[in-house]
């Protein structure tokens, strides 16, 4: 394979020019199903992403994080991988991925893929072999197969629930047709958990990493990176009553077992064979000391910090989230990350109150996130100020909807395809009649086309903010100094000279001294209205 050219690390306005490219990067999360559809089947694909690289360049982002595009029967939209070293035909083929990487690099944009190590699909060759091979076989030891409890073995081996609802165990039929063992799936039944004590499981992930890194991919976001290790003997757990679907409480035996760190150390050695390749963990761990363990120098480079994502619209809560995010990385001298939303949570416009209010607050919060040191992750559509969509029951696809017995609607509402142009759905997303999830007609006001022309649009605010952050030396330095501010507000200053003030209160406040670089809405005089943030130098 020919050597792959990677873009040069950005240097200006980022402090230390020797810092790795990802340290202060703006990552743009592409949910491939929902970005752009190139072949007219109503579902976004790799050729679609490739066709809109010009848009991403205009937006000014440094890297794309692509949600899973590997072969999958799509029981959880690609998080159930049946062949980790191939592209699913729904999204294209290997040549499409290579072309996307090459074109992105030519525009100075890096490409990070999504790696799913905790589980595979029931259609993965290993799982099929395990079903055929029978109890006690070598094939079953790659997974967590156990006999059931009770006289007929018809009670699950332990009392763990699935994150998506219902038990975390499914019983199989043995090759001879008798009711058989159970297998563990912390997520959907289509996602059997791998047993990470199995040497071949560890080795195979190394092969997968090298497969993509050899093709020029710049790193991976690692799914459920706090989940791979399971406690010995898979004990019962008390306290599931307080467990929420999709939640992660500190005592939860399914996650954050100490043995997981050995796995990360082994994976890191593979990353280290590829200078510049970044490992970003999805770590739902609230305690910042536990969280920091994942970022020790021989483990992950970056980890998603979800404190801002989970924080209410309240100045103290937001400041607390930022402080936690900074504290989480300081002890290990890692770099912080900031994320307001992703494909698993309600969009920020909706979380902050929807409509004009939610939009104003979401605009203010992206200025807060971009004013902080570290990497920022932007979920596709956030730059358009998209809200969540209330979808009708019959279109819901998230396994959570079925598994919860239709009590939890799941995550489809934040995954509705992007509106690109025109006055009616599907807004240029696809040449098919409609997109895989219906877009609301009122998104005609939020299309890329409309917003590109409007200097006051959310898209224009993102472009301007990303550009300023990249160019200005006021963003240099890794520290954050807090300033006294009126009730309902927060203010912090970066060593380079940037001040960011957020008014999350109910009344306008006076701006501190300084020249306004950018504000999340038009300001009059020296007043900062509620639901607004400003950058000053």
Q: Which residues bind Ca ion (CB under 5 A)?
A: 37, 39, 41, 43, 45
Q: Which two tokens stand for residue 143?
A: 């997974």
103 in catalytic set: no
Environment class of 309 (CB within 10 Å of its CB; exposed 0-12, middle 13-18, buried 19+):
buried
Which CB, 39 or 460, lies closer to Ca ion? 39
* Binding-site member from 47, 102, 246, 327 for ligand TEU (CB under 6 A): 246
Q: Which two tokens stand for residue 387?
A: 């809200």
* Binding-site member from 70, 100, 205, 224 for ligand TEU (CB under 6 A): 224
Q: Does 93 bind ligand TEU (CB under 6 A)?
A: no
Q: Which two tokens stand for residue 24?
A: 């202060």
Q: In what order do the strands lie in the sheet with 169-173?
A: 145-146, 179-184, 169-173
39 binds, among Ca ion, ligand TEU, none (CB under 5 to 8 A by kind): Ca ion
Q: Which two tokens stand for residue 93?
A: 């083929």
Q: Does 280 bind ligand TEU (CB under 6 A)?
A: no
**Distance, CA of 285 to CA of 185 (rounded, Å):** 20
Measured from the CB of residue 354, what is the shortest distance to ligand TEU in angstroms?
A: 19
Q: Does 76 bind ligand TEU (CB under 6 A)?
A: yes
**Distance, CA of 444 to CA of 433 (rounded, Å):** 16
Which CB, 322 or 437, lies closer to Ca ion? 437
Measured from the CB of residue 41, what is the shortest distance to Ca ion in angstroms?
A: 4
Q: Round to the nearest angstrom and report the end-to-end CA distance of the chain.
A: 48
273 in catalytic set: yes
Whether 267 and 298 have beta carbons less than 8 Å apart is answered as: no
Residues in the chain: 537
Q: How many CB atoms lie within 10 A of CB 247?
A: 10
What sign does the CA torsion over 529, 530, 534, 537 have? positive
284 binds, among Ca ion, ligand TEU, none (CB under 5 to 8 A by kind): ligand TEU
Q: Does 401 bind ligand TEU (CB under 6 A)?
A: no
415 binds, among ligand TEU, Ca ion, none (CB under 5 to 8 A by kind): none
From the candidates 41, 273, 421, 510, give the one annotated as an active-site residue: 273
Count of residues that bind ligand TEU according to CB under 6 A: 14
45 binds, among Ca ion, ligand TEU, none (CB under 5 to 8 A by kind): Ca ion
31 binds, among Ca ion, ligand TEU, none (CB under 5 to 8 A by kind): none
User: Of all residues in this chain, which one has the CB nearest to Ca ion in the complex?
Assistant: 45
Environment class of 369 (CB within 10 Å of its CB; exposed 0-12, middle 13-18, buried 19+):
buried
**Distance, CA of 288 to CA of 265 (rounded, Å):** 19
H or E stretch including 452? helix 448-453
Measured from the CB of residue 193, what is the shortest distance to ligand TEU in angstroms?
A: 10
From the candidates 45, 88, 223, 383, give the one annotated as an active-site residue: 223
Query: Which residues lie near ligand TEU (CB under 6 A)?
Result: 76, 79, 116, 163, 187, 223-224, 246, 248, 282, 284, 343-345
The residues carrying an active-site annotation are 223, 273
């Amino acid at each position: 394979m020919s050597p792959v050219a990677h873009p040069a690390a950005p240097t200006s306005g980022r402090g230390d020019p020797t810092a790795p490219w990802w340290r202060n990067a703006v990552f743009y999360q592409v949910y491939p199903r929902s970005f752009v559809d190139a072949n007219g089947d109503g579902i976004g694909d790799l050729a679609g992403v490739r066709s809109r690289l010009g848009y991403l360049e205009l937006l000014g982002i440094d890297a794309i994080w692509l949600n899973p595009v590997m072969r999958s029967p799509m029981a959880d939209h690609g998080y159930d991988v049946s062949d980790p070293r191939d592209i699913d035909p729904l999204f294209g083929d290997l040549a499409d991925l290579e072309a996307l990487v090459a074109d992105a690099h030519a525009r100075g944009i890096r490409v990070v893929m999504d790696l799913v190590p905790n589980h595979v699909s029931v259609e993965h060759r290993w799982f099929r072999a395990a079903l055929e091979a029978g109890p006690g076989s070598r094939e079953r030891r790659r997974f967590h197969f156990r006999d059931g409890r009770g006289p007929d073995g018809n009670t699950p081996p332990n009392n763990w629930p699935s994150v998506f609802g219902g038990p975390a165990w499914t019983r199989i039929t043995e090759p001879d047709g008798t009711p058989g063992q159970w297998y563990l799936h912390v997520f959907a039944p289509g996602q059997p958990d791998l047993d990470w004590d199995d040497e071949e499981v560890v080795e195979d992930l190394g092969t997968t990493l090298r497969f993509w890194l050899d093709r020029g991919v710049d790193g991976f976001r690692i799914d459920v990176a706090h989940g791979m290790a399971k406690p010995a003997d898979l004990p019962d757990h008390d306290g599931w009553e307080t467990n929420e679907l999709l939640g992660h409480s500190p005592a939860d035996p399914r996650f954050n077992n100490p043995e997981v760190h050995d796995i990360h150390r082994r994976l890191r050695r593979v990353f280290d064979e590829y200078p510049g390749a970044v490992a970003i963990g999805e770590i739902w761990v609230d305690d910042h000391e536990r969280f920091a363990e994942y970022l020790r120098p021989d483990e992950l480079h970056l980890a998603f910090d979800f404190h801002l994502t989970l924080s209410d619209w309240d100045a103290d809560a937001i400041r607390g989230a930022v402080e936690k995010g900074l504290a989480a990385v300081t002890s290990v001298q890692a770099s912080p990350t900031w994320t307001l939303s992703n494909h698993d949570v309600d969009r920020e416009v909706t979380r902050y109150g929807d409509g004009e209010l939610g939009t104003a607050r979401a605009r203010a919060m992206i200025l807060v996130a971009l004013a902080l040191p570290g990497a920022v992750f932007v979920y596709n559509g956030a730059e358009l100020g998209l809200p969540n969509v209330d979808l009708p029951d019959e279109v819901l696809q998230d396994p959570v909807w079925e598994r919860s017995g239709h009590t939890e609607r799941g995550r489809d509402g934040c995954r509705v395809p992007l509106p690109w142009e025109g006055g009616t759905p599907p807004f240029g997303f696809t040449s098919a009649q409609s997109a895989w999830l219906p877009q609301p007609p009122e998104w005609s006001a939020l299309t890329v086309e409309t917003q590109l022309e409007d200097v006051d649009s959310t898209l224009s605010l993102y472009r301007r903010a990303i550009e300023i952050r990249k160019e200005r030396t006021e963003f240099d330095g890794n520290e954050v100094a807090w300033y006294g501010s009126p009730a309902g507000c927060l203010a912090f200053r970066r060593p380079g000279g940037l001040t960011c003030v957020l008014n999350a209160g109910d009344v306008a406040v006076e701006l501190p001294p300084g020249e306004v670089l950018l504000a999340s809405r038009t300001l009059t005089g020296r007043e900062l209205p509620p639901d607004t943030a400003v950058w000053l130098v």
